Structure 1
Amino acid sequence: MRLIDLRNPAFFLALLAFSSAATAGDGAYSWLMKMSQATRTLNYDGTFVYQHGDQLEAMRIIHAVRDGSVRERLVSLNGSAREVIRDDQRVMCYLPDRKSIIVEHRFLGRDKSFPVVLPESVRVLNKNYVIQLGAAGRVSGREAQVVIIRPRDQYRYGYHLWAHKETGLLLKADLVDHRGKTLEQFMFTQVKIGHVIDAADLQPAMGVDDMVWYVGKTMDDVTVQPAKGWTASKVPAGFVLSNHMMRKTPGHSNPVEHLVYTDGLAAISVFIEKVDRGTRSVIVGGSTMGAVHAFGKVVNDHQIIVVGEVPAATVELIAKSVVAQPQ
């Protein structure tokens, strides 16, 4: 799962109290930057729940910042046992029920999950979202400030965020559709902030004996020039190409071309992979898992899949416009 799964209950809407647009907007931007700063500078250790669709997951997160670098450990508390260790370079998933360890490398500019929004980019969000202050609230026994992010069109979702008043740490986040319905919710049930974290707490508890390692590798040319590959000719206003690479991934015989489009908050991935003629396991049409939508098609023996935490119409629009560029 992504740590940034953003979300809010409908009954709370009646409690929202807005200031004047200018004052609320300036204050809201300041809170977004405070949340971003908290993520990059604070140590914290807590338990949170993540609700998506009819599923409820409980997890512990240990987040440490040392010399400007972040290292995190996430541990599932219900369902199948699993742990995720991630730092600035890679993500390691420990799956004991599958006797597997999956390693993925992280790339510059690829991890744009909120609240990791660079302060200089926060104002850019105003082109695609209306950002305002909401009322004060409480989460996990701590006083919080609510920030409301509403999309300016139907191609993206909105967010309701609860920031700890003292430190700015994001305590709760709701992802909402255009009707204000909560699609996903992340919320701390308890959290300790600002203490020293022992290095041992950032190591996996489960052993690695008899585990099979799957390491995702990039090709020598990690970044592919867009003119030499595929492109999407139609993307909603505000979305720009932030990454374009060719990758080799576990379980795939052919390299996968990966494009990432972002509006500064939402991110959409486009995957293109050559498939053998007669392959039956292709994906055509739309699919949904909670707030995540995907749309697939096959063009010239290539499987194209567009996926993102955005409305179904957004991924379909982009998928139908993906074409190979002239060589």
Structure 2
Amino acid sequence: MRFLLFYLLFISSTFASEGQNLTGSQWLRNVSDAMKTLSYHGTVVFMKNGQIDTMKYQHSVEKGIETERLISLNTPLREITRNSGEISCLYKETSQKVESDHPVDRSFIVNLPLHAEQISEQYLLAVAGQEMIAMRPAQIIAILPKDNLRYARKLWVDTATSLPLKVEVYGLDGNVLEQVLFTELAIDDNGTSSQAQQNVLSQHLHEFKVETFGNSAYQLESLPAGFEKIFFIRTSMQQSNKQVDHLLISDGFSNISIYFEAKGNNKGIEGQRSLGPVNSYSRVMGDVQITVMGEVPMETIQLVANKVDVR
């Protein structure tokens, strides 16, 4: 019944469009290719947890290397940059800078599976009608889960360039949990988009190193259907020298982070919490504090948390 309601929610009554000649998987492949090869810029609005964040966005490609940059227009002023798999966040007021290295490139705008055809067991991809977004015709792609372990999504794709113009994430009750929306978008000639250099002296707060999860002190007995391990990072906090290990798993659209840290002399945290689309569940195993969080239903978070163990 829930699946039927989502289907009725997403599928528009307008079906006569050129986009109907492509399947949902073909649209996703086109979006993925466009995001990796085109240079473009614009203004994007992020709506999450009842807050609105408007940022200038820039994406460029030079010699096959992607660079993304987000510059906030409101406090706290910050500049977030992704150079392939290297991500940095510079806080303008304090000149503090946080850096990380990710072995897999993921866009700031939308998560997409590496292989769209491999998600058919977990999602139904439906091509719906068209709408105008940022004064550009957009094809709507409905991304409908086949179980209760993940959220439904809608993706609005620019019909001229195949770039994503809008993304919405829906809770199990059908309400919008998160929205990303371009209010303006312009296409650049590859290699000509300007990229301001970061000349502000920055203080590095965190350093991240990619590790092998199989060599860690932890194990994950099984994963929810469709999820796979993406990376495992060992983090050293410079101010406290406290070590936190981070395992990321994903089904292509939905990410779940699992954090491991020494409990020390603290009592530790137990139980579940929710903040907008993000659910988390914490438990203590021996001297290790384990926290699982992600933009998935609480059932999925608890399922993962109960499968984590210490070797």
Q: TM-score range by the shorter chain?
A: 0.7 to 0.9
Q: State how far apart, in whole Å, the 2-side matches of 1:169 and 1:75 are.
A: 20
Q: State how far apart, in whole Å, the 1-side matches of 2:65 and 2:133 are.
A: 27
Correspondence for 2:104 among 105, 109, 113: 109
Query: What is the aligned-residue RMSD (CA, Å)?
Result: 2.7
Correspondence for 1:30 among 26, 38, 44: 26
SS of residue paired to 2:25: helix
Deviations 1:87-116 (A, max 9, x none): 01411211123331111122x237487444
Distance verdict in 2 for CA 1:38–1:72, change over 3 Å = same
Check if 1:291 corresponds to 2:277: yes
Q: State how far apart, in whole Å, the 2-side matches of 1:82 and 1:29 are.
A: 35
Q: State how far apart, in whole Å, the 2-side matches of 1:25 and 1:124 are.
A: 21
Check if 1:176 corresponds to 2:163: no
Q: Which structure 2 residues correspond to residues 229-308 of structure 1 after superposition, within 5 A?
A: 229-251=217-239, 253-276=241-264, 278-280=265-267, 282-308=268-294
Q: State how far apart, in whole Å, the 2-side matches of 1:41 and 1:149 are.
A: 24
Q: State how far apart, in whole Å, the 2-side matches of 1:201 and 1:62 are.
A: 8
Distance verdict in 2 for CA 1:218–1:13, change over 3 Å = closer
Counterpart amino acid of 2:55? Answer: M
Shift of residue 131, structure 1, vs aligned partner: 0.6
2:54 touches 2:73 (CA, 8 Å); kept in 1? yes
Please give the TM-score of this superposition, normalised by the length of structure 1: 0.83
* Count of aligned pairs: 302
Shift of residue 26, structure 1, vs aligned partner: 5.7
Deviations 1:171-225 (A, max 9, x none): 0010112332111101100010133565653434xx524x422241327xx2232
Shift of residue 169, structure 1, vs aligned partner: 0.3
User: Among the aligned pairs, what percent are the same residue?
Assistant: 27
Name whichever of 170-179 and 314-323 sits farther off. Answer: 314-323
Structure 2 portions without partners, runs of 5+: 1-6
Check if 1:151 corresponds to 2:148: no
Q: Which structure 2 residues correspond to residues 4-83 of structure 1 after superposition, within 5 A?
A: 13=10, 15-17=12-14, 27-83=23-79
1:50 touches 1:58 (CA, 8 Å); kept in 2? yes
Counterpart amino acid of 2:266? Answer: T
Correspondence for 1:216 among 201, 207, 222: 207
Partner residue, 2:3: none
Structure 1 portions without partners, runs of 5+: 1-9
Q: State how far apart, in whole Å, the 1-side matches of 2:259 and 2:146 are.
A: 27
Q: State how far apart, in whole Å, the 2-side matches of 1:245 and 1:92 are.
A: 15
Partner residue, 1:90: 86
Counterpart amino acid of 1:289? Answer: L
SS of residue paired to 2:205: strand
Counterpart amino acid of 1:63? Answer: H
Partner residue, 2:4: none
SS of residue paired to 1:237: coil
SS of residue paired to 2:153: strand
Q: State how far apart, in whole Å, the 2-side matches of 1:188 and 1:243 are.
A: 29
Q: Which structure 2 residues correspond to residues 189-204 of structure 1 after superposition, within 5 A?
A: 189-196=183-190, 198=192, 200-204=194-198
Distance verdict in 2 for CA 1:14–1:242, change over 3 Å = closer
SS of residue paired to 1:136: strand
2:11 touches 2:128 (CA, 8 Å); kept in 1? no
Deviations 1:39-85 (A, max 9, x none): 10010110011111210110111110011100121100122111112
Check if 1:309 corresponds to 2:305: no
Q: State how far apart, in whole Å, the 1-side matches of 2:68 and 2:258 are.
A: 27
Name whichever of 238-247 and 297-306 sits farther off. Answer: 238-247
SS of residue paired to 1:294: strand
Partner residue, 1:164: 158
Distance verdict in 2 for CA 1:14–1:196, change over 3 Å = closer
Distance verdict in 2 for CA 1:31–1:199, change over 3 Å = closer
Deviations 1:241-269 (A, max 9, x none): 33334343444534333222222221111
